[in-house]
């Protein structure tokens, strides 16, 4: 199966929303990414058009994203890109970009962050019972 994997840099555009999907949970949010180019003509930086991506994060990643990201946070993420084209109620063709994230983190070029490791649940060891030897 061919997949398009991308890495995005941008800003969280809204609150993270979490919903149940079967036995799992998924967190969704939007990321806006605005390319900047140097213009020789203007002798300065010029912003391009902002591109918006819908991002979904499943299971533990979704839980961590919900607790870590806020609107306006600078982020870097990596995941599988899908493109959906559909017709809206006004009859216009609309294209949306969706990313199923594999990795998400704060963009440390824009500020600092503190990391808190999530403790793993302790699984009790199972001991095999050794059958008693009859004497």
The pLDDT tens digits of the residues spanning 54-73 come to 999 999 999 999 999 999 99
Percent of the chain with pLDDT over 90: 81
Q: Is residue 15 one of the residues assigned to a domain?
A: yes
The pLDDT tens digits of the residues spanning 114-135 come to 999 888 777 777 766 666 666 5
Please compute the mean of the pLDDT values over residues 9-36 and round it to a whole number.
96
How many residues would you count in the chain?
135
Q: Is residue 58 one of the residues assigned to a domain?
A: yes
Give 90's pLDDT tier (boundaries 50, 70, 90).
Answer: very high
Q: Distances from the Cα of 100 to the Cαs of 50, 55, 80, 125, in angstroms?
A: 20, 6, 5, 35
Cα four-point dihedral sign 49, 37, 55, 86 = positive
CATH number of the domain to which 60 belongs: 2.40.50.140
Q: Is residue 110 one of the residues assigned to a domain?
A: no
Please provide the average confidence, as pLDDT, over all residues in the chain.
92
| Containing structural domain, residue 64 | 4-36+47-94
Burial of 124 (0-12, 13-18, 19+ CB in 10 A): exposed
CA dihedral 73, 75, 33, 25 (to 10 degrees): -90
């Amino acid at each position: 199966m061919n997949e398009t994997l991308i890495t995005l840099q941008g800003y969280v555009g809204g609150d993270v929303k979490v919903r149940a999907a079967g036995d799992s949970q998924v967190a969704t949010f939007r990321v806006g990414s605005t390319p900047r180019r140097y213009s020789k003509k203007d002798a300065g930086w010029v912003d391009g058009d902002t591109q918006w991506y819908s991002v979904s994060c499943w299971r533990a990643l979704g839980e961590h994203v919900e607790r870590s990201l806020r609107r306006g946070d600078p982020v870097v993420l990596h995941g599988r890109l899908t493109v959906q084209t559909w017709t809206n109620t006004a009859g216009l063709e609309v294209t949306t970009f969706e990313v199923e994230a594999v990795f998400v983190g704060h963009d440390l070029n824009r500020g600092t962050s503190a990391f808190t490791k999530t403790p793993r649940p302790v699984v009790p060891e199972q001991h095999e019972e050794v059958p008693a030897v009859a004497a």
